[in-house]
Amino acid sequence: MCDHALEGEWPATAAGLDKVCCFASGDRVLVASGIHDSFTGIPPEKLLAHLRQLRQQGMANPIAIGAIPFDTQSPWHLVIPAQSQWVARDAMLPARCCQLHGEVSEVTGSAHYQGAVRAALQQFSEGQLEKVVLSRAIDVQSAEQTSPAHAYGSLLAQNPGAYVFQIPLPEGETLLGASPELLVSRSEMEVVSNPLAGSRPRHAFSDQQAASAELLGARKDRYEHALVADAVAAALAPFCRELDVPMEPQVIATPTMWHLSTRIAGRLHEPSPVLALALALHPTPAVCGTPLSAARQAISRLEGYDRRFYCGAVGWMDADGNGEWVVTIRCGVLAGRQLRLYAGAGVVVGSSPEAEWQETAAKLGTMLRAFGLESREPEVTT
């Protein structure tokens, strides 16, 4: 990938950024504009071969960037942009954060969500499930047109440790989010995945020590986390000749949540493209459940809406097969004056319907805050 500095003032105008793909990682942002090719689904090896062919034909630093839905049988949205470059994250911070005015409403509501959790718990007692991630969505009807780039700048400013993304979708929609969870990255032969599972709202504990004591001592959360970390390690193992899986998770913080976190690192047997690794991992139990098939069926039956790109994967790959893919959480889809935001929680034996509802409310805070709506989540409704 190209690491040269961006020439001239950045950003020129917010409107000029609304149609570009952006992916922030660490202290820099990948900015990709124009469309050379687009795909609704393609084998990773075929995509890699195409990128290499474009490089041989003279395209400078060809990449693919985009989003894969939760259901990989649904259409993907991947593009090879006409041009791309890395810019300093600080250069894209806004002068002021987004402030949206509008009506917020539930898509399903508290009674539906908590009923879904109770139904899942019944399946646990029958031995059909070990874990399922149940999500909900809220809708915002804005009084004014909102710039995706303005919201993206707010997400960058408010979530300095997150992978912040903006992916324009067909039909005038934009996928926006600030994911804390690395699905997989590849740099040459080195791979890293950082699953998160087991969470508490940030406001529940004043400091890292108190949050660590609570989460590391919580049997339910440790079990939920182990299901995810073990599954990620098992999925990566066939690709790796070395794999380091820590025995104990750590506790990390986002602006709204505390999470149990395990950083899994490995060295590949062969230079498998990062997109192939992402597809081998997706969906992890962090966004679906265990066993996979039973969890998928429970989600389809219980949630009551279509996740689309939520709980999918967002990221990029270059012509060497390197890249980064993150789990599409703490996200929403913006279309003019319409905004849909998503949040979910892992349900295992011992879960409380009310506690899971409150966890989703805390997770919605990331996106609500980005739009200046942090105190506007709707009251509990049926």
pLDDT tens digits for range 157-180: 999 999 999 999 988 999 999 999
Helix/strand/coil for 289: strand
**Axis crossing angle, helix 219-236 with helix 274-281, rounded to the nearest 10:** 140
Q: Which of 85, 43, 40, 44 is nearest to 62 (CA)?
A: 85
What integer pLDDT is reported at residue 368 of this predicted model? 93
Scored b (16 or more CB within 10 A) or e, 20-57 reads bbbbbbeebbbbbeeeebebeebebeebbebbeebeee
C-alpha distances in Å from residue 135, one per residue of 32, 65, 155, 288, 305 = 31, 26, 21, 10, 9
User: Which amino acid is residue 318, in one-letter code?
Assistant: D
Per-residue confidence band for 266, with pLDDT thresholds at 50, 70 and 90: very high
Judged against a pLDDT cut of 60, whether residue 202 lies above it is answered with yes
Q: Is the peptide bond before 283 cis (omega within 30 degrees of 0)?
A: yes
Going by the DSSP 8-state scheme, the letter that residue 330 receives in this structure is: S
CB 264 within 8 A of CB 248: no
Judged against a pLDDT cut of 80, whether residue 382 lies above it is answered with no
- pTM, two decimals, is 0.92
- If you average pLDDT over residues 114-122, what whole number do you get? 95
What integer pLDDT is reported at residue 8 of this predicted model? 32
Judged against a pLDDT cut of 90, whether residue 289 lies above it is answered with yes
* Catalytic residue flag (residue 363): no
**Axis crossing angle, helix 110-125 with helix 292-302, rounded to the nearest 10:** 150
Q: 106, 131, 173, 363: which one is catalytic?
A: 131
What integer pLDDT is reported at residue 377 of this predicted model? 56
Strands 250-253 and 257-261: antiparallel
Per-residue confidence band for 375, with pLDDT thresholds at 50, 70 and 90: low
Q: 181, 303, 324, 356: which one is catalytic?
A: 181
* Spatial separation of the C-alpha atoms in residues 213 and 156, rounded to whole Å: 30
All domains of the chain in start order, with CATH? 100-160+171-370 (3.60.120.10)
Q: What phi and psi, each to the nearest 5 degrees, are found at residue 201?
A: -60, 140
What integer pLDDT is reported at residue 378 of this predicted model? 54
CB 313 within 8 A of CB 282: yes
Lowest-confidence pick of 174-188, 189-203, 219-233, 361-375: 361-375
- If you average pLDDT over residues 36-52, what whole number do you get? 96
Residue 203's Cβ-count burial label (10 Å; 0-12, 13-18, 19+) is exposed
- If you average pLDDT over residues 134-141, what whole number do you get? 96
The percentage of residues in the chain with a pLDDT greater than 90, rounded to a whole number, is 76
Half-sphere exposure of 156 (CA within 13 A, CB side): 26
* Spatial separation of the C-alpha atoms in residues 244 and 266, rounded to whole Å: 6
Beta bridge partners, 290, equal: 131
Instruction: Compute the mean pLDDT over every residue in the chain, rounded to the nearest whole number.
Output: 90
Across 17-31, 46-60, 81-95, which has the greatest mean pLDDT?
Answer: 46-60
* Catalytic residue flag (residue 131): yes
CB 29 within 8 A of CB 23: yes
